Amino acid sequence: MSETSVYGATPTDSAKPRRAMRVHHLAQMKADGEKWSMLTAYDYSTARIFDEAGIPVLLVGDSAANVVYGYDTTIPVTLDEMIPLIRGVVRGAPHALVVADLTFGSYEAGPRQALESATRVFKETGAHAVKIEGGERVADQIATLTAAGIPVVAHIGFTPQSVNGLGGFRVQGRGDAGDQLIADAIAVQEAGAIAVVMEMVPADLAGQITRKLTIPTVGIGAGNETDAQVLVWQDMAGFTHGKTAKFVKRFADVGGDLRKAAEQYADEVRRGAFPGPEHSY
């Protein structure tokens, strides 16, 4: 990481203590042309690892619905199911900015409902920002939360909580729909969003929006011209079972390693090889 990095030293650079990531650093990184990464996290142990790795922003995504709770979509997960996870991530990540997704049904009714939900998340977890899905249609919610001192990350393009309305898991903003996506991006910036996630949109359009906006864009399936990237950690670490989306790159096979470790453990217990004298009192 460069000398001018707002996020500070990498884990190996022990001379300089790392600074905690704050909301204003996002704007700073855009101004500096510094690309950054975001990963999801859903518990203390993994949040610690990602924080130590220098990931500046952690998202407690409602993808917990899928990867923690085993639901098919993000629609069923509730704030009550998210809150304990967010608490663990906040405790595990002293440097990262922790963003928490508001769940389906907890903010759409209007600014008042959004404020109640986000206030609850803030009071009960210590998260630093919330994320909500939608563009123009949630601009009032973004403005109200922002005025109340709750930083908001917006999420446009493919918004998984609307999967039924969008007709499936598909790329958004192709052709004429591109104008609506641009309008959504501008609307969330004007409402006060600190960043905007763009999911499954054509790379050219995402690049165009990134250059137009003053707030950082965070892509997932949005090409290489956004200011930042986000992935679900289980996808990027090879922990997701079954097929993953085209935008996923597998950086490790943690799932395979863990399966092997479990098999070896079970085998050693079966053979009487574990525990040995060195693990006994």
Ligand X SMILES: CC(C)C(=O)C(=O)O
Ligand Y SMILES: Nc1nc(=O)c2c([nH]1)NC[C@@H]1CN(c3ccc(C(=O)N[C@@H](CCC(=O)O)C(=O)O)cc3)CN21
As given in the structure block, the two tokens for residue 65 are 């619905």
Which chain residues interact with ligand Y by CB under 6 A? 63, 66-67, 74, 160, 169-171, 232, 234-235, 240, 245-247
SS3 at position 152? strand
Residue matched to tokens 């217990």? 269
Judged by beta carbon distances under 5 to 8 A according to partner kind, the member of ligand X, Mg ion, ligand Y, none in contact with residue 230 is: ligand X
- For the segment 189-228, give every residue that binds ligand X (CB under 6 A): 197, 199, 220
Nearest to 199 by CA among 164, 165, 152, 160: 160
- Piece of the chain touching ligand X by CB under 6 A; list 58-66, 76-84, 117-125, 174-182: 58-66
Judged by beta carbon distances under 5 to 8 A according to partner kind, the member of ligand X, ligand Y, Mg ion, none in contact with residue 197 is: ligand X
As given in the structure block, the two tokens for residue 124 are 């009960």
Of 108, 116, 199, 225, catalytic: 199
Between CA 27 and CA 210 the distance in angstroms is 13
As given in the structure block, the two tokens for residue 187 are 């609307």
Judged by beta carbon distances under 5 to 8 A according to partner kind, the member of ligand Y, ligand X, Mg ion, none in contact with residue 173 is: none
Instruction: Based on the residue annotation, tell me whether 199 is a catalytic residue of this protein.
Output: yes
Largest CA distance in the chain: 71
Side chain identity, residue 41: A
State the Cα torsion 237-130-75-114 to the nearest 10°: 180
Residue 174 C-beta: closest distance to ligand Y, Å = 10
Active site residues: 199
Q: Which residues are annotated as a binding site for Mg(2+)?
A: 62, 101, 133
Q: Which residues are annotated as a binding site for 3-methyl-2-oxobutanoate?
A: 62-63, 101, 131
